[in-house]
Amino acid sequence: MADRYDPTPRTRIRRLPKRASYDHAAVHAVLDAGVLCHVGYVIDGQPYVTPTLYWRHGQRLYWHGSSASRMLRHLKDGVRVCVTVSHLDGLVLARSGFHSSVNYRSVMALGTARLVPEEDKAGVLEDFVERLLPGRWPELRPVTRQELKATTVLWMELQEVSAKIRTGMPIDDAEDYELPVWAGVVPLAAQIGAPQPDPRLDPGTPLPAYLQEVARRGLLQRCGGAAGQER
């Protein structure tokens, strides 16, 4: 298997190409560091962008919910989508507005969304929960056939994909470095807070190991670890 997605005219990054990457490792690292994606699709010529949870398994991206599901019920051949994942890592403050920027990691995946068939849904949803909070799925009240029916799960092949990443300090015009303007990076990151138990939870219920882990390491770091491994 190639370790790189072939850039196409649609995914080749023309603006600031030095920020681009098509390597599986780089793309998967960005995907596995997140939980929320933005799915783009078209109805009657109008684009729509729906935020939703996603997860990756090998060369497949999965998400569930309503985003393209109404369309998909009528279109057996699938729906053209763009799934974008982005992490805003910092404000990059240069000595001029023009060279100011942001640090970020993003992935854009173009392709065709398809429905996960009924018989595969339970396994795919288990995979989702276990990647996020390993050990939680077996604790949950088991999913019913009716609930599975009511859940739309979509997937697309990772094939036409690019990553775009900016890191580091501002790059100013040579003559601007002498100006007395504060320059640098203001870091931004997704942070996890202390788990808040449901008031209706029996106070004797212990905090599960996977939530202790999350509280210690942060959710997204967790995702970027084990969930990033191919299985």
* Interaction residues for a second copy, span 150-189 (CB under 8 A): 150-151, 169-170, 176-177, 179-189
Q: Label residues 153-180 b or e (16+ Cβ within 10 Å = b).
A: bbbbebebbbbbbbeeebebeeeeeeee
With CB under 8 A, what is the number of residues at the site for a second copy?
87
Contact 41, 71 (CB under 8 A): yes
Question: Minimum Å distance from CB 3 to a second copy?
Answer: 25
Subset of residues 210 to 229 that bind a second copy, contact rule: CB under 8 A: 211, 214, 219
Subset of residues 80 to 119 that bind a second copy, contact rule: CB under 8 A: 80-84, 86, 88, 90-91, 93, 95-98, 100, 102, 104, 106, 108, 110
Contact segment (CB under 8 A) with a second copy among 23-31, 41-49, 54-62, 221-229 equals 41-49
Q: Which of 94, 95, 112, 111 is nearest to 103 (CA)?
A: 94
Contact 96, 73 (CB under 8 A): no
Contact 133, 211 (CB under 8 A): yes
- 37 φ/ψ angles, rounded to the nearest 5 degrees: -115, 170
Q: Which is nearer to a second copy, 117 or 193 (CB)?
A: 193
User: Is 74 one of the binding residues for a second copy (CB under 8 A)?
Assistant: no
Among 21, 28, 40, 163, binds a second copy (CB under 8 A): 40
